[in-house]
């Protein structure tokens, strides 16, 4: 089963709209020839429209860092699927570990947000991953399994195939410590096996599972060379045109 790799940049709370536009334009020019990797960046809500306009006609998709499950109402600080659809937004990160850690997101809210995105035709990039403490206490698989079973509860097989998963071990995010290719592959294989149990082999084989956590130009090729790693969700190394374009080119060269 060949899955087209998807590499995306999560810009987190970085870049003004002007900076986002400049980066998108520079990136689009650098990666215009890359056809074998899908590409996206996720600016803040305030920058996303300007960035999307700057990316028009290029192979750089522009998405958002979150989506709420309610259609509208008293949810201060949140954005609904209709508001995203109005502007043609088609990609959204859901349940990043920073949202879980600082903003109280749980497997249940991640599940509701994932379903809301799918129902609206928006591709969710649903994030999972264990903390260092969970890994060191031997609970990695247990944590990943409950994030998958609870976070993806109620999805049809068809919806699962439209969902992109990002495995981001919390201990590797922003730390410079990358999971070794073997550690990452082991976790991805476990995730795919769990998807097989939940949705069947055909579906599990189609799901794109990104790795995230200190991915850089220098390690991306080895990571995505692993059998079950289908791309990357990149933080720090996606912020500068020269870093992210080098990363994308290195990835494209081995796909």
Of the candidate spans 17-25, 55-63, 212-220, 245-253, the one that interacts with ligand 13P by CB under 6 A turns out to be: 212-220
Say whether residue 105 binds ligand 13P (CB under 6 A). Answer: no
When asked if residue 209 is in the footprint of ligand 13P (CB under 6 A), the reply is no
Q: Between 44 and 203, name the residue whose CB sits nearer to ligand 13P.
A: 44
178-187: long-range pairs with CB below 8 Å, 24+: 178/213, 178/214, 178/215, 178/216, 178/219, 178/223, 179/211, 179/213, 181/222, 181/223, 181/225, 181/226, 181/229, 182/226, 184/211, 184/223, 184/226, 184/229, 185/226, 185/227, 185/228, 185/229, 187/140, 187/144
Quote the least distance from Cβ 81 to ligand 13P, whole Å: 21
Q: Hey, which residues between 158 and 187 contact ligand 13P (CB under 6 A)? A: 168, 173-174
Residue 92 sits in the site that holds ligand 13P (CB under 6 A): no
- Output the CA torsion sign for 203, 205, 206, 211: positive
Q: Does 236 bind ligand 13P (CB under 6 A)?
A: yes
Sequence-distant (≥ 6) Cβ neighbours of residue 213 within 8 angstroms: 129, 168, 169, 171, 172, 173, 175, 177, 178, 179
List 6's β-bridge partners, or say none: 38, 231
| Contact status: 67 vs ligand 13P (CB under 6 A) | no
Can residue 38 be called a binding residue for ligand 13P (CB under 6 A)? no
Residues in contact with ligand 13P, counted by CB under 6 A, come to a total of 14
Q: In DSSP terms, which residues pair with 167 in a beta bridge? A: 128, 211
Does the footprint of ligand 13P cover residue 61 (CB under 6 A)? Answer: no
Catalytic residue set: 96, 168
Q: Which of 43, 151, 169, 213 binds ligand 13P (CB under 6 A)?
A: 213
Residue nearest to ligand 13P (CB): 235
Return the axis-axis angle of helices 140-151 and 107-119, rounded to nearest 10°: 40
Nearest approach, Cβ of 232 to ligand 13P (angstroms)?
8
Should residue 63 be labelled a site residue for ligand 13P when binding is judged by CB under 6 A?
Answer: no
Quickly count: other Cβ atoms within 10 Å of residue 129's Cβ: 27
Q: Choose the stretch contacting ligand 13P; rule: CB under 6 A; options: 66-74, 83-91, 139-147, 230-238.
A: 230-238
Based on the shown chain and the rule CB under 6 A, indicate whether residue 235 belongs to the binding site for ligand 13P. Answer: yes
User: Of 49-57, 109-117, 135-143, 227-235, which segment contacts ligand 13P by CB under 6 A?
Assistant: 227-235
Interface residues with ligand 13P (CB under 6 A)?
10, 96, 168, 173-174, 212-215, 233-237
């Amino acid at each position: 089963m060949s899955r087209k790799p998807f590499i995306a940049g999560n810009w987190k709370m970085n870049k003004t709209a002007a900076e986002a536009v400049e980066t998108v334009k520079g990136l689009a020019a650098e990666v215009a020839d890359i056809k074998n990797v899908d590409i996206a960046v996720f600016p803040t809500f305030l920058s996303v429209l300007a960035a999307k306009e700057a990316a028009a006609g290029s192979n750089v998709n522009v998405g958002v860092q979150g989506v709420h499950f309610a259609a509208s109402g008293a949810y201060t600080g949140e954005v609904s699927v209709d508001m995203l659809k109005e502007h043609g937004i088609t990609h959204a990160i859901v349940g990043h570990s920073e949202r879980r850690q600082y903003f109280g997101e749980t497997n249940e809210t991640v599940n509701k947000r994932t379903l809301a995105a799918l129902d609206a035709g928006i591709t969710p990039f649903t994030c999972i991953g264990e903390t260092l403490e969970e890994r060191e206490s031997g609970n990695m698989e247990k944590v990943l399994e409950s994030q998958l079973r609870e976070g993806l509860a109620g999805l049809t097989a068809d919806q699962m195939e439209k969902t992109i998963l990002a495995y981001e071990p919390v201990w590797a995010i922003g730390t410079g410590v990358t999971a070794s290719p073997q550690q990452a592959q082991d976790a991805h294989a476990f995730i795919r096996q769990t998807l097989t149990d939940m949705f069947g082999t055909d579906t599990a084989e189609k799901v794109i599972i990104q790795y995230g956590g200190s991915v850089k130009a220098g390690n991306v090729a080895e990571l995505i060379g692993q059998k079950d790693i289908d791309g990357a969700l990149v933080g720090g190394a996606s912020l500068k045109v020269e870093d992210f374009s080098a990363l994308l080119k290195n990835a494209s060269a081995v796909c």
